[in-house]
Amino acid sequence: MEETDWIVKCRNGDADAFARLVQPYRRPLFAFLLRLCGDRALAEDALQETLIKIWTRIGTFKLGNRFSSWVMQIAYRTAVDQKRRRKDGRLFYSDVLPEWQSPDDPTRRLELDERRRYMHRALEELPENQRQVFLLRLDGELTFKEIAALLGQPLNTVLSRMNQAVKKLQKRMEHYRDD
């Protein structure tokens, strides 16, 4: 069965089909939301809300469009909405490094933790509008045209923000040792 088949079944209220449909999105969706929310509990709330929206609005998804984009756009809006409701000023990312399940090997854990911390800091130093584009592309895997439409910005603006973001990250990572 293909994704489209599960979507069609979902539209007829098939809950099992919904589980099959969204199962592959578990990790990418959560990772994306965690990066947007910057906090595990908030990301879990946002994930629950995203799943509800996907289920209740599946009838409005236009078959033939990219389902993954639709899902990630809903996730993005949910995260933005959540931040707006909390009125905590920052839209993306918090200063808290989200905890995660580390591997058992201590050396490997240390190395991965270091790399994560480094990346986190580098991302956090980006201006919000650049980080937004970068996350939507890298974690949300949206195309630049989709990002432009989602943010209501001209494509050229989005492309130049991506350039600036990558340039800054690159500069930051020059100091980080290679494998």
Residues in contact with other proteins by CB under 8 A are 11, 13, 15, 18-19, 22-23, 26-27, 30-31, 34-35, 40, 44, 47-48, 51-52, 54-62, 73, 77, 80-81, 84, 98, 100-101, 112, 115-116, 118-119, 137-139, 143-145, 152, 156, 159-160, 162-163, 166, 169-170, 173, 176
Contact 91, 80 (CB under 8 A): yes
- Structure token pair of residue 28: 């990418």
Nearer to other proteins, 1 or 69 (CB): 69
Least CB distance to other proteins at residue 175 (A) = 12
Least CB distance to other proteins at residue 124 (A) = 13
Least CB distance to other proteins at residue 104 (A) = 14
Nearer to other proteins, 5 or 32 (CB): 32
Q: How far is CA 179 from CA 84, 98, 110, 112, 176, in A?
A: 40, 24, 14, 11, 10
- Of 64, 59, 65, 126, nearest to 90 by C-alpha is 126
Angle of helix 26-37 versus helix 40-57 axis, rounded to 10? 130
Least CB distance to other proteins at residue 105 (A) = 13
Nearer to other proteins, 61 or 124 (CB): 61
Nearer to other proteins, 2 or 85 (CB): 85
Q: CA quadruple 1, 56, 28, 26: dihedral positive or negative?
A: negative
- 25 CB-near residues (< 8 Å, 6+ apart): 68, 71
Least CB distance to other proteins at residue 73 (A) = 7
Q: How far is CA 87 from CA 1, 48, 61, in A?
A: 43, 20, 30
Nearer to other proteins, 1 or 108 (CB): 108
